[in-house]
Structure 1
Amino acid sequence: MDDVYSMLLEDIGVPMYRQEVPPSSISRYQGLLPDALLQLWAEHGWCGYGEGLFWMVNPQEYDSVTASWIQGSPLEKTDIYHVIARSAFGDLYLWGENSGPSLCIFSNVSRYTYDPAERSPKAMGRAFQSFLLSFDRDYLDFNELFSKTKEKLGILSPDEIYGFVPALQIGGAAKIEHVEKVKITEHLILLSQLGQLHQYTLSDI
């Protein structure tokens, strides 16, 4: 796991705003999230990486966001999901208790990707390592706006994301002139209410 974490730092960047994870949070998610993730929390905390491009987060703080996006969608009965990471622009990476790293919600465009395969408890550790290795700066950088936005607005605080105002779902433009720092929970719940969540299809690529 140390090698995988080192590769994460190499691909995305060093940590910032570290928050220690209390034992109560480790206990809360024991058996629900993979041991490898809980070990990472214990050793490295919840924090941002790469000057705030990518964040490992406290799932409990995102329960209302998860519910707002998933309730009433086809995903509601597929698994129980927990947000474990997010991007600077509000992309959400969720862990399914039975399916592992199976769901990503791209909040700015109300789209998601979904891998319905169930994984055995033994496979969850390997799946989490693969999850960490799947990220790089290009993948996380929405419309290649991160560096310019960071230079214009400054580095994000742990409770902020870069959001488009007006939102893309109601005709906003994915341009730096329309990006603001916004509070995570309020903005993501607002986005979830602006349009129905749809799965990415081949026609979207």
Structure 2
Amino acid sequence: MVTAALCLSIALMPMAVDAIPYTLDPEHLSVLRETLDEVGEFQQPYPALVDVTNPEDGTVDAAVDVSAGQLDDGTPVIVIEDDGAEDIARFLVLETEWQGLPAGTLLHGAGPNMAVVTHADDDASGLRAQGMLGFLDLLMAAPTLLDLDPTALALQLALKEVTGRVADDLPEFLDAFTASTAGEPVDETTLKRWQGRLPDTLLALWQRDGLARYLEDRLMLVNPDRYDAMLPPLLAGSALEGVDTFHVYGVTAFGQLFVCGENTAVEIVIDPYSGQVGMNPSMLAATDAEERSARLRFLLTMLEVKHLDLTDEHGHSVYATTRDRVGALARDEVYAPGPAGLVDGWESNLIRQNMFTSLEPMRTSSGRPEAP
């Protein structure tokens, strides 16, 4: 694995005169740089095609390790190490023009000898890059609370790597995961209606705490019935549409929706204000009720207050400053963007608003909301 600010001395191999370099577009190059600036070196799991020339052969679990580096002449590069095949391949992404190659150009090689990755049909490194770079779409779709909190990305990666190792002990989980504010009791009729459709872990919390708030009131559990009408516009055109029957089971203090499928993922986060749907596609495979319940326990165990908050320019908690300014949240309330929406300085102008009023545009929209 590589470390930040790795200094590389490379020898560039000759490229055919008519070859077309493989380059990342500015948007993908930007998201790589921004993620490195925010969280440092990171790992991103992704489903790697067994054969990039034949997608029907399916995928295998793979991951890339991404870090910052520079060439010995000071040219900044992004280092990507991919384990999507039997061997680990190293790619470099030029962040600026170098030796006549544009920013975004991919280099590939072992040791000091590196070659420009090209679009040529016989360039094996180009075929591998084509399959690997799908991780960028996952990176861009990762749920960031109001698109500002990079810890949500770290949480998603942790889920990918550790899911399945969480203790299968519901009583132990319930002892550790306690409500910060008690909620409205859930009656037996509601519990029975959702049995077998929602994870048992969630129903156990309902039965014990009602629709309570957790993590210093940053996350509240909700009755999915009241939110089901809002989901179709948010899912329209996303990778989730038509995959499963999905339900909202939690809402953050800022209005992000925690969503689970009846047969698939429990780790989906939707930001209704930007229209972002964050999830790991590898978790959309059908799973049994026991696994979904264990995965929800792990998700809730891993969540921390900082994952559900963000800081202003002075390093202060936006949740705390907003609560002090407009008051604590009542039932069904969230801190929502004001009438101006997500413009510069929005975090200082959040208002306390009923969740359903806040999402009224999503009730009537025929498609996903436009990102600001």
> How many angstroms does 1:152 deviate by?
0.6
* Structure having greater relative contact order (Cα 8 Å, sep ≥ 6): 1
Q: What is the match of residue 56 of structure 1?
A: 221
1:51 Cα deviation (Å)?
4.8
Instruction: Summarize deviations over 1:148-199 as a string: whole Å, max 9, x none.
Output: 001111111112110111211xx353321x21011101212426857347xx
Alpha-carbon distance between aligned partners in 1 of 2:204 and 2:347, rounded to the nearest angstrom: 38
**Aligned residue in 2 for 1:182:** 353
Name the CA distance, whole Å, in 1 between partners of 2:332 and 2:236.
Answer: 23
Contact 1:8 1:135 in 2 (8 A): no
Which of 312, 325, 329 aligns to 1:152? It is 325
- CA offset digits 1:95-126 (Å, max 9, x no partner): 11111314210223321212323222221221
Partners of 1:79 and 1:68 in 2: CA distance: 15
Q: Work out the CA distance in 1 between the residues paired with 2:341 and 2:362.
A: 7
Give the match for residue 341 of structure 2.
167
Partner of 2:50: none
Q: Is the 8 A contact 1:19 1:45 kept in 2?
A: yes
CA displacement at 1:30 relative to structure 2:
1.1
Alignment equivalent of 1:7, drawn from 176, 199, 212: 176
Counterpart of 1:123 in structure 2 is 291
The separation in 2 between residues aligned to 1:146 and 1:107, in whole angstroms, is: 18
Corresponding residue SS for 1:76: coil
Amino acid across the alignment from 2:351: E
Assess if the C-alpha contact under 8 Å between 1:96 and 1:102 holds in 2.
Answer: no
AA partner of residue 154 (structure 1)? G
What is aligned with 1:195? Answer: 369
Which of structures 1 and 2 has the bigger CA Rg? 2
Distance in 1 of aligned mates of 2:222 and 2:329: 14
Q: SS at the partner of 2:241?
A: helix
* Contact 2:215–2:304 (CA under 8 A) maintained in structure 1: no
- The 1-side partners of 2:274 and 2:174 are apart by 30
Q: 3-state DSSP class of the match of 2:244?
A: coil
Please tell me whether residue 39 in structure 1 is matched to residue 204 in structure 2: yes
CA contact (8 A) 1:65 1:185 kept: no
For the residues of structure 2 that align with 1:23 and 1:182, how far apart are their CA atoms? 30
Which AA in structure 2 matches 1:148? T
SS in 1 for 2:190: helix
> Residues 6 and 42 of structure 1: is their aligned pair in 2 closer, same or farther, counting only changes over 3 Å?
same
Distance 1:110 1:71, change over 3 A: closer
Aligned to 2:259: 94
In the TM superposition, what is the alpha-carbon distance from 1:90 to its structure 2 partner?
0.4
1:64-87 deviation line (CA, Å, top 9, x unaligned): 222331245442211111111110
Match of 1:203? none
TM-score calculated relative to the size of structure 1: 0.82
Work out whether residues 180 and 214 of structure 2, in 8 Å CA contact, stay in contact via their aligned partners in 1: yes
List gaps (5 residues or longer) in structure 2. 1-169, 312-316
Q: How many residues align?
A: 190
Residue 205 of structure 2 aligns with an amino acid whose one-letter code is L
SS in 2 for 1:109: coil
Equivalent-residue separation in structure 2 for 1:6 and 1:88 (angstroms): 24
- Segments ≥4 residues shifted beyond 4 Å: 191-194
More helix by share: 1
The TM-score normalised by the length of structure 2 is 0.47
Is 2:237 the counterpart of 1:69?
Answer: no
* Contact in 1 for aligned 2:273/2:369 (Cα 8 Å): no
Determine the C-alpha separation between the residues in 2 that align with 1:112 and 1:3: 31
Using the aligned pairs only, state the percent identity. 24
Residue 2 of structure 1, CA deviation = 3.7
d(CA) in 2 for partners of 1:126 and 1:50? 19
